[in-house]
Amino acid sequence: MSVERVGVVVHQGRPEAVAAAQVVRDWCADEAVPCTDIDVWHDHSRRRGGREEADVAGNPDLIVTLGGDGTFLRGARIAAKNRAAVLGIDLGRVGFLTEVPADEVVRALDAVHQGRAEIEERMTLTMRASRVLEVPKDIDALMAYGRRPMLPPPHIDLEAEAGAEGWGVALDVTALNDVVVEKLARDRQVSLGVYIGGRRLASYSADAVIVATPTGSTAYSFAAGGPVVSPRMDAVVFTPVAAHMTFNRTVVAAPDEPVAMRVLPHSGQGAVTIDGQLRGVLDAGDWIGVYRAPRRLRVVRLGRHDFYGRLRARLRLTDAPATAVDEDSAPLFRPDGPVPHDLAHLHLSLADRDAGAAD
């Protein structure tokens, strides 16, 4: 892709991110590409929804994020609204989403501009609700959500609303990681009836329930005991958090099976967060349905994404002591020549693929 306009999302609290952002602006000036800082806020200032943010920035076709996974998610919610690609510069500590080191910013931008970068598409989630979500004015007194300006409640997705009477309200949201319903008061769990594919699965009393994408499986869902799911898959991952019931396991549903949650009459209020951002509150009788969004996030990669290598490094995975005598474990496939026909359709590791292609 030839870059026409760049949007920059910066973690302003990290000096190295601020310095790398200036490198991006300098590159844009050299290439005569318009560049705009987006999703910038100050204390007590109003934040904008993703669609409004993209419009104000002139609808950039490339969004560059400089920070960790949280900064990447800020850029992703904007990029998904207008099919922009998002390039994550890695300045975080434990992240899975960003990829490019800060000292390779120029090389990465050149690769994108010259069409040498790969564009990987990730599944996202969207939702319908029984009513338009709202955030109570006294939310800061109920929960500690006052650290930064909050995003506004989601707007109605007017395009999706057409001809959908009786199906709830379509909300203009995009989640790359997860949609979470969690208890609002510390002394009252949220009680939910959970439906998958339109059929009731069970009723839960829990601290929270998480509906995640494969990308989000290594975030909150993983911390709550959920499985690691390859981000190359399409699936809907449902994980309860501290559920007061015997069945507290994750359910991995097919991508076309929506997960719906109805707040039961005896429940406390539930807070709805989307990729970690509070976006509304549910009362008894309210419901939301979470499902695969038609839109996918376009992520810039400089090469094939080594997800399992990153998983091993980020989580500091170690081998069992009993394997120490084996020294370095050999890869499963060690190609000495062209990749065999029965393996040609597989997504092999970087080293295996390159070795096979070189012969």
Give residue 221's pLDDT band: very low, low, confident or very high (50, 70, 90).
very high
Tell me the C-alpha distance between 104 and 15, whole Å: 17
- pLDDT at site 162: 65
- Residues 241-262 pLDDT 10s: 999 988 899 999 999 999 999 9
pTM (2 d.p.) = 0.88
User: Mean pLDDT in the chain?
Assistant: 87
Give residue 135's pLDDT band: very low, low, confident or very high (50, 70, 90).
confident
- Residues 259-270 pLDDT 10s: 999 999 999 899
Contact (CB, 8 A) for 267 and 192: yes
Which residues lie closer than 8 Å to 295 by C-beta, 6 or more apart? 80, 83, 124, 126, 174
- pLDDT at site 186: 77
Mean pLDDT, range 147-156, rounded to an integer: 79
- Residues 152-194 pLDDT 10s: 888 888 888 766 677 889 999 999 999 999 998 777 899 999 9
**Token duo for residue 70:** 């949280």
Q: b vs e for 113-127, b when ≥16 Cβ sit within 10 Å of the residue's Cβ?
A: beeebeebebbbbbb
Q: How many CB atoms lie within 10 A of CB 141?
A: 8
- Residues 12-42 pLDDT 10s: 888 999 999 999 999 999 999 999 999 998 7
Residue predicted with more confidence, 140 or 41: 41
Residue that has been written with the tokens 């998002």 in this structure: 86
Q: Which residues are catalytic?
A: 69
Residue predicted with more confidence, 220 or 164: 220
Contact (CB, 8 A) for 284 and 265: yes
What are 289's strand-pairing partners? 128, 260
Which stretches of the chain are DSSP H helices? 15-31, 50-56, 69-79, 105-113, 139-142, 158-161, 220-223, 307-314, 350-358
Of 303, 298, 304, 297, nearest in space to 346 by CA: 304
- Residues 59-114 pLDDT 10s: 999 999 999 999 999 999 999 999 999 999 988 676 788 878 888 999 999 999 99
